[in-house]
Structure formats: structure tokens, C-alpha cells
């Protein structure tokens, strides 16, 4: 530079605050770097704590309603489900680390409880509950003039 200093540049360290001059003491403990395995288990732990935080979808089609629940880390025999008062409750219990999950999805009123089926897609960690829709009741109204 030509002898001039810019306002945002310092010409010396004299005006640097004391806290910025301090360096880390070599005796300070340094946190061990996290491995993929440790961060993956922490992520799984957070993800598995509550199934209601997991992605769920309720899709209505012409003839059926699909409830799709992410069941990452759970097997078919570790998942239970029940319907009470139009609420689908999905419960998962994992013997490893004694973890459990719970998800509740309110079903539409036009869903039949008989004739449902459950599909598991382990490639995408999804459990799909498929409920047939009730056929609409059509009542003829007699018109009189």
C-alpha cells in the first residue's frame, strides 16, 4: 500500500482487543471428531424418539385412502396398529435400546374399517395402510309439485 491505511484494515496489533489476542491453550481438551457411525446413531435416536415427527401422509384416492408412515429402523413384527374413533394409531417397539414410537393419524369419515390391508416397503422404510372408501349412499327424493 502507499502508506495510507483503510478504515477497515489495522496497521498494527496495538488496538486489537485483548480477547482476540488470546490463543487456545494447548492443554485445553479438544472434542474428538465425530465419526459417521456416532452421528448416524445420534440422528437415528432423534429420529426414532417420536414417530409423529416422521414423515406421514394421508392420500385420498377415488376408491381408497392410504396412510403412509415412515418406519425407519423397525421391522414388520415390531409395528402394531389400531383404529379407534377414526384415529389410526401406529406403535413401534424396538428391543434394541428399548425404543418405541407412536403416531396417530385422523382418518376421514368415509373410510371403511373392514377390508383394509397393510403393505410394507422396506426399500423406502414405509408402511402403508390402505382403507377402502365407503360408497356414498344415494337416497332418491320423491318430488311432488
Give the span between the Cα atoms of 119 and 56, in whole angstroms: 15
Give the span between the Cα atoms of 60 and 105, in whole angstroms: 13
Would the pTM count as exceeding 0.85?
no
The structural domains of the chain, ordered by start, are: 55-132 (2.60.40.790)
Alpha-carbon distance values, 43 to 33, 46, 70, 99 (Å): 16, 5, 15, 14
Q: How confident is the model at residue 46 (pLDDT cuts 50, 70, 90)?
A: low
The pLDDT tens digits of the residues spanning 6-25 come to 344 444 445 555 555 555 56
The pLDDT tens digits of the residues spanning 63-118 come to 999 999 998 888 888 889 999 988 999 998 877 777 788 889 999 989 998 889 99
Amino acid at each position: 500500500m502507499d502508506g495510507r491505511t483503510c478504515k477497515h484494515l489495522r496497521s498494527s496489533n496495538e488496538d486489537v482487543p485483548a480477547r482476540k489476542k488470546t490463543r487456545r491453550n494447548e492443554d485445553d481438551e479438544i472434542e474428538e471428531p465425530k465419526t459417521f457411525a456416532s452421528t448416524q446413531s445420534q440422528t437415528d435416536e432423534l429420529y426414532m424418539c417420536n414417530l409423529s415427527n416422521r414423515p406421514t401422509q394421508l392420500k385420498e384416492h377415488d376408491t381408497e385412502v392410504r396412510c403412509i408412515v415412515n418406519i425407519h429402523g423397525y421391522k414388520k413384527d415390531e409395528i402394531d396398529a389400531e383404529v379407534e374413533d377414526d384415529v389410526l394409531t401406529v406403535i413401534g417397539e424396538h428391543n434394541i435400546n428399548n425404543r418405541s414410537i407412536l403416531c396417530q393419524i385422523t382418518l376421514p369419515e368415509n373410510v371403511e374399517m373392514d377390508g383394509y390391508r397393510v403393505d410394507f416397503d422396506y426399500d423406502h422404510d414405509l408402511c402403508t395402510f390402505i382403507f377402502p372408501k365407503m360408497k356414498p349412499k344415494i337416497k332418491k327424493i320423491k318430488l311432488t309439485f
